Amino acid sequence: MARHSGASVLGRRLRVGRCGPGTSLRTVPRRVTTITNDWPAGSARALSAGTKRDDVLDEVEGPDGTFQQHLGPFHHYLRTVATDPDGTVHETVQYGLYLPWFGIIFRWPMRRALRHPRTPGSPSPWWAPPDKLTARQTSALALLAAAAMSAAFANTLFTQTSTFAADGFHASDRMLGASGAIVRVGVVIALPFAYLADRMGRRRTIVLLAWLTPLFCALGALSPSFWVLTGSQTIARPLGLALSMLATVAAAEDMPRNSRAYALSLLAMASGMGAGVAVAALKLADFGDNGWRLVYLISLIWLPIAVSLGRHLDETRRFETVHRMSPPLNRRRLGMVALVALTSNLFIAPASYFQNNYLDKVRGYSAGGIALFTLAVGTPASLGLIIGGRMSDVIGRRKIIAICTPLSAACLVAAFFAAGSAMWFIALGGGFTAAMAYPAFAVYRSEMFPTGNRGMANGLINTTALLAGSLGILLVGVLRDHGSSYGSVMAFLGLGQLAAAWVAFRHYPETAHLELEQLNPEDPTIVSAD
């Protein structure tokens, strides 16, 4: 069965009728910024001002001698160049960039890039994608990153607060481990939303989840017992996982071929910001036995993002294009990606879940100390996401996986043996290299499957990953109750990371520089409307 939404079929090639790559159906705020430059006569900048630039955008010269955007992220762009009789060159750049929620972060680097153009033919700045994004793609990526923040807060909330809630309810380590496993088993709740996204669209499902996730998280503040808290977050966390998963699917579908890993790295950085809010809020847990409840109430701050998504997020072009509904699922690809998710999460999930318990019970850190450690180690390490995402798009995913995954596993295991400042530096190294590998791993989950079942395939893979994480958490909880040290248990589970890297390097295809339709020939090729 095929889906049609404003597209006309030309053989195997399709023309999108509703919106081209640089347009949007939704109202976009029109804020315009002006930059003026004066260049002395004969200077290098004066001589190059009259040439078209090709760094953060591609320019085209208009009939009146002005330069306009041919391809780039701006909803408005105009550059004029005037020369005085003495040879002084006056350049004026007017541009409008719509980046909801993240405009303040990119405002200065974009302004600097426009004021100081790069040499023609040079690669884009390190913070920018390898490809030039359109205004539609830029705003969509920012909105999806905002959704990722909300999702990450939900995904981090129980992990960060469970130790303090367990103390308040006098729960044992075994109960703590069991609750972590139960919450992760709840990932099956995400599967119906993955199915809905393949049927009724990415946008509508993402908006629905953006409302449901913070509301269910906030219910945890009212829990009368540890098991009721576990039950509420068994629903809330899978909603956040589904939101995060579909945000990555939508980003992969809308990004150009050389920037998919970069886009996922930005979503992961935004996720780090959302998780950072949960970590920073841990200080509230020091306010008595019930201080942790305040952290759950903070979930409501993410509701404005749901409003923003509902107003401004467009459906992905690939979903809007005619495509086959429910194509056969490639079982070999699904099994291969699921195996990597399984082996890696046997280590990653318990290492993350028990980190706070380790710092609390073994190293004697307070809630504030744990928050400081997590932010101090995690924030610098997040730069690895941008570096790893860009390198994955430039030199390939498999090389990044093969180099970074063993290094990250070794460092993260060593952090459970070390103490003092050594623990901080080793954990930082492990987090940085793990962050570099993440975009390369994550992008395969969307690239390896066609539009008609991309959401469901991601749901099944994420379910596998979460169930494996639950198994790892249960195992650590049982072994800890029998006297095993955190270090020895994590060293054993860390072998799963090495297995994941080997499978990915040996058996994954290299997908960098290829369109999704080249990787999935059953999908039609998209031709943008002019």
**pLDDT for 48-84, tens place per residue?**
898 999 989 999 999 888 999 999 999 999 999 999 9
Residue 285 has a pLDDT of: 78
User: Are 6 and 518 a contacting pair, CB within 8 Å?
Assistant: no
Residue 316 has a pLDDT of: 94
Residue 7, Cβ density class (10 Å: 0-12 exposed, 13-18 middle, ≥19 buried): buried
**10 has which bridge partners?**
13
Domain spans, the chain: 33-99, 135-520
Q: Give the residue carrying structure tokens 């080997």.
A: 502
Residue 288 has a pLDDT of: 73
Ramachandran class of 251: left when φ > 0, alpha when ψ lies in -120 to 50, beta otherwise: alpha
State phi, psi for 34 to the nearest 5 degrees. -120, 135
d(CA 174, CA 152): 26
Render pLDDT for 439-450 as a digit per residue (tens, 0 to 9).
999 999 999 999
Residue 302 has a pLDDT of: 97
Residue 279 has a pLDDT of: 83
Nearest-10 Cα torsion for 106, 427, 347, 206: -20
Query: What are all long-range contacts of 519-522, with beta carbons under 8 Å and residues at least 24 apart?
Result: 519/447, 519/448, 520/448, 520/449, 520/450, 520/451, 522/324, 522/327, 522/450, 522/452
- The CATH H-level superfamily of 135-520 is MFS general substrate transporter like domains (1.20.1250.20)
Pairing of strands 58-61, 33-39: unpaired
Q: What is the 3-state secondary structure (H, E, C) of 270-335?
A: HHHHHHHHHHHHHHHHHCCCCCHHHHHHHHHHHHHHHHHHHHHCCCCHHHHCCEECCCCCCHHHHH
pLDDT tens digit at each of 530 positions of the chain: 344 333 333 333 333 333 333 344 454 556 899 999 999 998 988 888 989 999 899 999 998 889 999 999 999 999 999 999 999 999 999 999 988 999 888 989 999 999 988 888 888 888 899 999 999 999 999 999 999 999 999 998 998 888 888 888 877 777 777 787 788 778 889 999 999 999 999 999 999 999 999 999 999 999 998 898 999 999 999 999 999 999 999 999 999 999 999 999 999 999 989 988 988 888 887 777 788 899 999 999 999 999 999 999 999 999 988 677 778 889 999 999 999 999 999 999 899 888 888 898 888 888 788 888 888 888 777 789 989 999 999 999 999 999 999 999 999 999 999 888 899 999 999 999 999 999 999 999 999 999 999 999 999 998 898 889 888 888 888 888 888 889 999 999 999 999 999 999 999 999 999 999 999 998 888 755 43
Two tokens at 104?
A: 């303040």
d(CA 241, CA 262): 20
Two tokens at 48?
A: 């190059």
For helices 495-507 and 486-493, angle between their N-to-C axes, nearest 10 degrees? 20
Cα angle 273-440-127, degrees, rounded to a multiple of 5: 55
d(CA 178, CA 237): 16
State phi, psi for 361 to the nearest 5 degrees. -85, -35
pTM: 0.84
For helices 367-381 and 420-447, angle between their N-to-C axes, nearest 10 degrees? 50
Question: What letter would DSSP give residue 124?
Answer: P
